[in-house]
Amino acid sequence: MPDSLAEARERLARANRLIANEGVLDAFGHVSMRHPTDPTRYLLSRSRGPELVQADDILEFDLESQPLKPPTARLYSERVIHGEIYKARPDVNAICHHHASSVLPFCISGTELKPVYHLGAAMGETVPFWDSRDEFGDTNLLVTKAAEGASLARALGPHWTVLMRHHGATVVGRTLEEVAFRAIYTVRNAALQIHAHLLGNVAPLTREETRLAADHNLGHGPVMRAWEYWNMRLDKAESRMPRARRPDIESRSRTRAAGHTIGRGRKK
């Protein structure tokens, strides 16, 4: 984990933009990370499109998902997703909630999402399915109450990805880089699974293949190789933005360089 709160804010802001640049997030969805020095807090942006998030947008929350300082801007209504999962999973240090178009068919149909290629193993051996109606009946499908967030956390259990009926998915990881890896490759796996269905029978990885592939792909080397590549793609995308919208170049370089020294996260 990063040493300073300022560095953590910069890295988290960049992770929001990076995951959006890879097509997982659009105007909606959000990425959080556990506070670098206080596991009873987490960091999350104010309510803003992920592709626009800057370090100054990042706020501190307790595990009840209450801001540490009185907010001066609108907050994400679904921040309880993050607080309740951090409560339930001390091994989780980063969370991404998204509504990627390749994953939504599985949320709508109830079809099981399975790893179908080696990088797809990052989703984990099992992807549970959470239906809010089981406990809360008909709702607007947003997860805005602590009880709803706690229910989602229970459905996630010890796994790394959970599908949400007619809504999207929530992905967790031990580090910010890992959650980006899991989220991006789960979305790509979902697209490949749909395409493969058009050709006929889909043969997913076996449980042991999934475990072995995930153990390899989620090692520090592969994760940071992908993180470096996605950072380069983000740099190119942001260099084409109007100058007034570009993130600070010096801060961006510091954040990227810091990412190369990050290990697998704090042990709990």
Structural domains for the chain: 5-259 (3.40.225.10)
* Number of other CB atoms surrounding residue 234 within 10 Å: 22
- Cα separation values, 114 from 100, 123, 165, 171, Å: 16, 8, 16, 15
**Cβ neighbours for 267, distance < 8 A, ≥ 6 positions apart:** none
Inform me whether the pLDDT recorded for 108 exceeds 70: yes
Determine whether 10 is an active site residue. Answer: no
What does the pLDDT look like over 28-64, one tens digit per residue? 999 999 999 999 999 999 999 999 999 999 999 999 9
Q: What is the CA radius of gyration of the chain?
A: 18
What is this structure's pTM?
Answer: 0.89
Averaged pLDDT for residues 216-227? 98
Q: How far is CA 155 from CA 76, 84, 91, 185, 197, in A?
A: 22, 12, 16, 21, 27
- Which residues fall within 8 angstroms of residue 30, CB to CB, at 6 or more apart? 16, 44, 45, 50, 76, 78, 79, 82, 96, 97
Q: Is the pLDDT of residue 12 over 70?
A: yes
Position 241 scores a pLDDT of: 74
In this predicted structure, the answer to whether residue 226 has a pLDDT above a threshold of 50 is yes
Structure tokens at 255: 């954040």
* pLDDT surpassing 80 at residue 147: yes
Catalytic residue among 78, 84, 148, 177: 78
pLDDT digits (tens, 9 = 90+) for 171-200: 999 999 999 999 999 999 999 999 999 999
